[in-house]
Amino acid sequence: MNRREFVQNTAVAGLATQILPFSIYGRNAPSEKVIIGLIGTQSRGSWLAGLFSKLPGAEVGYICDVEDGAIANGLKAVEKAGQKRKPTVIKDLRKLLEQKDLDAVAIATPDHWHAPAAILACSAGKHVYVEKPCGHNPQEGEWLLEAARKHKRIVQMGSQRRSWPTLQEAHKAIRDGAIGKPYFARAWYYNNRKSIGNGKPIAVPATLDWNLWQGPAPRKGYQDNVVPYNWHWFWNWGTGEACNNGTHEIDCCRWLMGLDFPTKITSSGGRYAYTTDDWQTPDTQVASFEFGNKATITWEGLSCQGYGPEKSGRGFTIYGDKGVLSAPESGPAYQILDLGGKLIKDVQNDEPANAATNTISAGGERLDAYHLTNFLESVRGTAKPNADIAEGHKSVLLCHLANISQRTGSILHTDPTNGHILQDKEAMKLWSREYEKGWKPVV
């Protein structure tokens, strides 16, 4: 059996395995390496390139980006990590996916490319690590789940906290009844972002393939305040703070509380901090997700106000009928208190999460390594993904529904079996999107 067959066959078998305990740096890696292509290496992607390069049994064989500076960032990260092989540079991800020795891709592009790139990768027989959100809209999440199952590929979403040992411990504590029945959660994300101003139409830089950058999104003219980061706040490419950062805390709440699809969603807020710039998504948003008569999760997102609850920029608190679990900064530390506020358990950690303002890694190298290692072991067939696309889609869907409620001003009622919007034609128009001709994803 050759290396390619080994990785493909063990991964398919691994879909039925149980999650195995492992040490990040202690396991002896198999002789066969998992060859990875990094798609999108502007910031988070270059961080992933460097980290994958350090992990046993992995090798970054390819760097794929449409901007010369981002490519340089990715190559530098791999070199700094000490990998002997210099990655091959391929700008067009469609050409990347034709490479025979490529086993998996890690996708850290702008949001509008996440699902289309991942679906193409699944169709090409590659496993996928895709950063949140797993789609630009709800339909893309469903398509990606369908593609993963159809092509029998591992698809792990970048919900890194599901692999952090202390939050896995917190999950078990709640399942074991530490706070009784969990019925309410409050999650938050606060940052101190500045105005993006009013963009000026300028010539596309010679270092950027603007057409390929836009890919599946309907074409827009180039202006000077979109690339490399502010695309997050334009609906044509981004998904706002709800999907950008809310995904993490909302996912933690849904995971720890054992919830699936919601029944009712509301959202309020707007663009309040700066009112004359090009920013389209809310900078202030309060969303509520009801799960029948079981529980409610709320999320507060303030993009332009850095002073958050419990003096932390991000985090969540889960309330039960016998106690409370509090996780400022979303872990790795957490506390359990009784109904009177008496401290019952105080879990500290020597791997503190970074501040909410860090746009590259909220957890740092060692905490991120847990999640990437889980992905690699899933590809090898020795573990199950901690954030399989089926779970990733459920959490990202909540964020999309919050945005749809916000944009339409509607209270959304949804099917608890799949999250589909019920009896609201205007809201359903935002379930999917228009695609540039020839770029619509095909499962």
Residue 26 exposed, middle or buried by CB count within 10 Å (0-12, 13-18, 19+)? exposed
CB atoms within 10 A of CB 260: 13
Please report how the helices 247-257 and 165-175 are oriented relative to each other, as an axis angle in degrees rounded to 10. Answer: 40
Percentage, residues of the chain above pLDDT 70: 91
C-alpha 96, offset from chain centre:
22
Give the model confidence (pLDDT) of 31-60 as tens digits. Answer: 479 999 999 999 999 999 999 999 999 999
Statement: residue 9 has pLDDT above 90 = no
Query: What pLDDT is recorded for position 127?
Result: 98
Query: What pLDDT is recorded for position 30?
Result: 44
Q: What is the mean pLDDT of residues 102-110?
A: 98
Is there a contact between 35 and 24 (Cβ–Cβ < 8 Å)? no
Question: The tokens of 11 are what?
Answer: 């991964």
Statement: residue 402 has pLDDT above 50 = yes
Query: What pLDDT is recorded for position 356?
Result: 67
DSSP state string for 23-62: -TTTSPPPSS-EEEEEE--SSHHHHHHHHHHHSTTEEEEE
Statement: residue 29 has pLDDT above 50 = no
Across the chain, mean pLDDT equals 92
Q: What is the mean pLDDT of residues 126-149?
A: 98
Q: What is the CATH number of domain 3-162+368-388?
A: 3.40.50.720
Is there a contact between 40 and 107 (Cβ–Cβ < 8 Å)? yes
Query: What pLDDT is recorded for position 32?
Result: 76
Q: What is the mean pLDDT of residues 338-346?
A: 96
C-alpha 122, offset from chain centre:
18
Is there a contact between 306 and 357 (Cβ–Cβ < 8 Å)? yes
Give the CATH fold of the 165-197+212-357+390-428 domain. Dihydrodipicolinate Reductase; domain 2 (3.30.360)
Q: Sketch the domain layout of the chain as residue ranges.
A: 3-162+368-388, 165-197+212-357+390-428
Query: What pLDDT is recorded for position 197?
Result: 98
- Which candidate, 223, 198, 200, places its Cα nearest to that of 210? 223
Cα(239)–Cα(244) distance, rounded to whole angstroms? 7
Cα(358)–Cα(5) distance, rounded to whole angstroms? 39
Give the model confidence (pLDDT) of 152-207 as tens digits. Answer: 999 999 999 999 999 999 999 999 999 999 999 999 999 999 999 999 999 999 99
